[in-house]
Amino acid sequence: METRLFDYPLPGELIAQEPLQRRDQSRLLVVDRQSGAISHRTFREIGDLLPPGGCLFRNNASVLPARLRGFLPTGGAVECLLLSPGARPHNWRCMVRPGRKLQPGASFGLDGEYRAEILNVLDEGERLIAFSLEKDATVTALANRLGEVPLPPYIRREKDDPRITMDRDRYETVYANQDRRVSAAAPTAGLHFTPQLLEELERMNFTSAEITLHVGAGTFQPIKTERVADHAIHREIYEIPPETLEILQAPQPAPRIAVGTTTVRTLEDYARRRGTIPASPLPGSPFTAEADLFLYPPARFALTDVMITNFHLPRSTLLCLVSAFLTPGETRGIAWLKDIYAEAVARRYRFYSYGDAMLIL
């Protein structure tokens, strides 16, 4: 399957640079897979559209302010994005700019705060970096104190942009668990929920279940190979708590509504592994694994009945996932998704992380 099939034209002005004032006023493009019908609503109405009695599975990961600024010994500026902890304390996998100046043995830092030494160059240009801290016990604590929200590259912010303060609140779901500050990106389909909407859904007898997927920067990487199957998918750690495992193992489950592609990836990766793991973990123990699942047509879905998602980048693994979900077990979803996106463009939907949403029933 050729990667070019997952390309589409998008006017730059439709890439949302900031969220709407109210989260649940985002537009909602609704796709009914059985009838093929498409309708246009607002996210605030989603309770009237979801299957009654459904369970919303949602990623409660919180975004680590993972973008650190520093300087080379010569005075040149450095930008460092924390990706994931290494095997040793204070070692992290990172992306850095300018990469050509940061080869093994090079260092950068911020006087009175930290020093960082490049230990190794890893795949995809990542670096393994050892941090020496002046004030903080952990690199995570340093990031929480000094770091900036790691917005995706298509959201542009100058260094002193006043919206940076707003991003700390809005590039985060209202149900994010602050003890789970593990993500380099927000699970953006969840950005549309408000506390009031969640309370209303609860009154309508919808339930919710938590998972935690450590969203990595690889989620934004386009497929660079000519063939989709040749792409090396990024890996992401996830955790499913015991109470969510119990819901997933119910003999007569309620409709499973996945909030976002990160949740779909977690559920479907778990579904493919559960035949090789005990039916029930030890009491109080979560199931933890590293997702390496690449879903593209004609993939099938074992645990996802309904999906809430945003509009995704061309040639992205997320676009592949959504097209597969439109027509599981077939490839018709590729052309159908392009038609859906063309309609969204024509109707001036807002795209990507701060943009509007899709509901696929």
DSSP assignments along 38-69, one per residue: EEEEEGGGGGGTSPTT-EEEEE-PEEP--EEE
Q: What is the CATH number of domain 67-147?
A: 2.40.10.240
Given this model, what pLDDT does residue 281 score? 54
Contact 217, 316 (CB under 8 A): no
Contact 285, 249 (CB under 8 A): no
CATH 2.40.10.240 location in the chain: 67-147
Given this model, what pLDDT does residue 123 score? 77
Q: Is the pLDDT score of 70 beyond 60?
A: yes
Taking the model in full, what pTM does it have?
Answer: 0.91
Cα-flanking dihedrals φ and ψ of residue 148, to 5°? -110, 155
CATH 3.40.1780.10 location in the chain: 3-63+169-360
Q: What is the CATH number of domain 3-63+169-360?
A: 3.40.1780.10
Distance CA 211, CA 277 (A): 18
Chain segment 138-164, per-residue pLDDT in tens: 999 999 999 988 898 899 988 788 898
Taking residues 67-73, what's their average pLDDT? 95
Taking residues 20-49, what's their average pLDDT? 98
Cα-flanking dihedrals φ and ψ of residue 320, to 5°? -60, -45
Distance CA 13, CA 164 (A): 20
Contact 67, 149 (CB under 8 A): yes
Of 187, 70, 82, nearest in space to 138 by CA:
82
Of 315, 293, 311, nearest in space to 303 by CA:
293
Cα-flanking dihedrals φ and ψ of residue 164, to 5°? -60, -40
Q: Which residues, 6 or more positions from 181, have their beta carbon under 8 angstroms from its beta carbon?
A: 62, 63, 64, 140, 144
In which residue are the tokens 């386009």 written? 222
Chain segment 198-208, per-residue pLDDT in tens: 999 999 999 99
